[in-house]
Structure 1
Amino acid sequence: MSVFEHGFPFDPAYGRTLDQLLTLPAPAAPPDFDAFWQERYEAARRVATAPAVGPQEEERDGFRIFGVSFTSVGGLRLGGWLVLPGDGPAEHGFVIGHGYGGRQDTGDAVPLPLPRSAAILPCVRGLGARSRRPGIPGEADLHVLHGIGSRDTYVIGDCVADLWCAASALLELVPELARDPEPGEGGEAGTPGGRLGYVGGSLGGGLGALALPWDRRFACGQLTVPTFGDHPLRLALPGVGSGEAVRKYYRDHPEVLDVLPYFDAATAASRIRVPVLVAPALFDPAVPPPGQFAVYNALTGPRELHVLRAGHFEHAGGEQETKELAAERRSFFAERLSA
C-alpha cells in the first residue's frame, strides 16, 4: 500500500521496497555504446561555442546573474544564465541541468552549492525560456519523442551535447576553471580532471548520467530523481511524465527498442568513474523509482545515496527533504571540488 494518498490509477511506488529497489541492475549496453557516445562527445568538443554574456540581470545570495548564449552542435544557438561570484575569482564551477518543465529563470539553483563559484544554467534545445527553437517541440511529451526514430537524430543525444557545449562555454568565460587534463592524466575517461561539478534533476539527472562518463572536465556530479534509467523496465511501468509518452509510442513502434538502449541512463552510469551523489525517490508518478535506483545501482565509482520519500509529488515534509538534500549536496561538493 502506498505511503501517500493519491489519485493516480497506478501505484507510484510500483510495489517495491527500498531493499528491492537497491537490487535492480542496469540493462546491458549495445556493443558500440561507448564508441557511439565517445564520437558524439568529440564532436561537441569541436564546436566553437562563442559564448556571449548579456547585461547583469540580478544580484542575490552573493552571486551576480547574467543572461548568456552559446552555440551547440548543429550550429544551434542556445540560451541560459551565467552565475558569477559577487566579488573575487571563481574557485569552483557548475553546469546545472533542468527538468522537463524547462527553465524559466534561475529559480532555486541560486545560491549555488558552494560559495565563490561560477555556473552556467543552460536551457537545452527546445525547452525553457531561452532555447525554444522552431522545429523542436517545447512540450515534454512531444520533445521526448523528437527524432526518436534513429539514434543519430534523437533529440536526447543533442541535449546531452548541449550540456557539454555549456561546459565549454563556461570554461571559456571563466578561464580560471579551465583545467583540461592532458592525455593520459587522471586515468580512463570519466576520472576527475578539473573543478567542474554537475547538478541535475529529473530530465537533467538523466542527461547528466549520459554526459558524465565521457567528459573528464567534470570532477563529480549530483543527480536527483534521474530519468531514462532502465528503459526496458520503464516501458512496462505506467506513469504521468515523458516516460509515458515513450511507453505509448513503443506500443505502435516496437522498433524503438533499437534506439532506446543508446540513451539508457543506467547503462551510462555504469561507465561513470567520478564521485556521484544520487537522490532517487521511493514514490514518483512521473519518473518510476525502479529506473531512478537502477542509475544509482549501476555506478561503479565512488557513490553516495540520499533517498527521498517522493519525487514529482507535493507532500508533507517535502520542503524539509529539499533542505536536507541541499545540505548534503553542499557537503558532497565541498569535499570533492578543489580550489
Structure 2
Amino acid sequence: MTSFAHDFPFDPAYGRTLDDLLRIPAPAAPDDFDAFWRARYEKAREVATEPELGALEEVRDGVRIHGVTFTSVGGIRLGGWVALPAEGAAEYGFVIGHGYGGRQEPGPDVPLPLPGAAAILPCVRGMGARGLHPGIPDVANAHVLHGIQSRGTYVIGDCVADLWCAASALHELVPELAPGVGAPPLGYLGESFGGGLGALALPWDDRFGAAQLTVPTFGNHPLRLTLPCAGSGEAVRGHHREHPEVTEVLRYFDAATAATRLELPTLVAAALFDPSVPPPGQFAVHNALAGERELQVLSAGHFAYEGLAAQTAELRTARRRFFGARPGR
C-alpha cells in the first residue's frame, strides 16, 4: 500500500494493496445494458454537429489552437478547442476528455501524443468555460446528480454523447481524418471524469482505435457507494442514502461494467492512493477491460506528492509509446 501524510478523515488507499486492487471485478450488467448504450450512440450519430472553427488563439508545441463550437444531442451547442498541426495535414486524430471541473484552456493536454496529430478538446455540457448551459449545474457535486432519477435523464449519459458528437465534429473539421480516407482510427484520452466517460463511450463507437484512461471514475458503483471520498462520488453516496433506488440507475453508468465490452487497446493509469476517485473503482475499470490492456501504476491521484512531476513525465512517455505503436490501429 502507498501512504502519504494527509488530513482526510478516511484512508485514500482504502486498505488495499496492489494485489488486492488487481482482483476487484466489475458488476454484472443489466440485461439491456448494450441495447441502452447502442441506442444512445445511434441517436448521437444522427446529430448534425455543424462545427464552427473559431479564430486562432495560440500556436505552441507544433499545433495551432482554435476555439470551436458544435452541436450535441438535444440541440445543445457546446464549445472547446481544436488543435491542428502547425504545418501540413493531420495524420492522426484524438478526442480528449477533461476532469470534473471542466477545462478553462487546453492546458497540459497539449502537446498531443503524436506529432502530426489533430485533436478536439470539448467541454461537455455544464462543465468548463465553454460547456455552460442553463439548467445544468457547473459544480461537480451538483452536476453528478443532475437528472439521476432515471437512466434516460441522467446527465452522464448526455456527457458521453457529447464525446461522440465531438468526434463527429472533428471528422467534419478535419476531413483527412474521416473514416474511409485512409487515416487511422481516432485515439481517446481522458482523465478522472473524462476517463470514466471514455470507458462508457468507447465500446460502442468503431471510429476509435485506442485509448488512455487516467484515474478513471465511475468504476464499480456498488463498491464506490461504500467508500468515502472527497470527490463527486461523495455526493452520489449522500444521495443514495436518501434514495437507495438510485442503484438501478447507476448500473447503466458503471465504467467497469462498460469496460467488459471495451475491446480497444487501452492504457490505464490507476493510482494506489486517491482521495477523490477511490482506487478500487479505478482498478475495477482496468481489470474488466475485454481487449489488450496496459497498466501504469501511479503512487497517487488527485494529490500533490514528491515525485509527481517524475511520474507525470513517465506517463507522458508511456502514452507516446502506446499510441505510437499503433499508427494503423
Q: TM-score, normalised by structure 1?
A: 0.95
1:65 pairs with 2:65: yes
Q: 2:224 aligned with 1:234, yes or no?
A: yes
| Ranges of 4+ aligned residues in structure 1 off by more than 4 Å | none
Q: Does the CA-based 8 Å contact 2:2-2:299 persist in structure 1?
A: no
Q: 1:265 aligns with which of 237, 242, 255?
A: 255
* Partners of 2:101 and 2:138 within 8 A in 1: no
Partner AA of 2:255 in structure 1: A
Alpha-carbon shift at residue 194 of structure 1 (Å): 4.0
Can you list the C-alpha shifts for 1:189-241, whole angstroms capped at 9, x where unaligned?
xxxx9420000000000000000100000000000000000000000000000
What pairs with 1:29-48 in structure 2 (closer than 5 Å)?
A: 29-48=29-48
Q: Is 1:155 aligned to residue 145 of structure 2?
A: no
Counterpart for residue 80 of structure 2: 80
- Check whether the contact 1:224–1:279 (CA below 8 A) recurs between aligned residues: yes
The offset of 1:179, in angstroms, is 1.0
Task: Give the distance between the partners of 1:2 and 1:173, measured in 2 at CA.
Answer: 45
Instruction: Give the deviation of 1:338 after TM superposition.
Output: 2.5
Pairing of 1:82-161 with structure 2 (within 5 A): 82-161=82-161
CA distance in 2, matches of 1:257, 1:54: 42
Q: Is residue 196–residue 337 contact of structure 1 (8 Å, CA) maintained in 2?
A: no
Report sequence identity in percent: 70
Matches of residues 117-266 of structure 1 in structure 2 within 5 Å?
A: 117-179=117-179, 194-266=184-256
Query: Are the equivalent residues in 2 in contact too, given 1:197–1:337 (CA < 8 A)?
Result: no
Give the alignment's Cα RMSD to 1 decimal.
1.2
Q: CA deviation at 1:2?
A: 5.4
In structure 2, the residue matched to 1:23 is 23
CA distance in structure 2 between the partners assigned to 1:89 and 1:167 by the alignment: 18
Runs of 5+ unmatched residues, structure 2:
none
Q: Do the aligned partners of residues 2 and 118 (structure 1) sit closer, same or farther apart at CA in structure 2, a change above 3 Å counting?
A: closer
Q: Deviations over 1:136-181 (max 9, x none)?
A: 0000000000000000000000000000000000001111111159
Question: Unaligned stretches of 5+ in structure 1?
Answer: 182-192
CA offsets 1:253-286 (integer angstroms, 9 cap, x no match): 0010110000000000000111000000000000
Counterpart among 247, 250, 265 of residue 275 in structure 1: 265
Aligned residues: 328
Letter in structure 2 aligned against 1:245 = A
2:294 to 299, 304, 328: 304
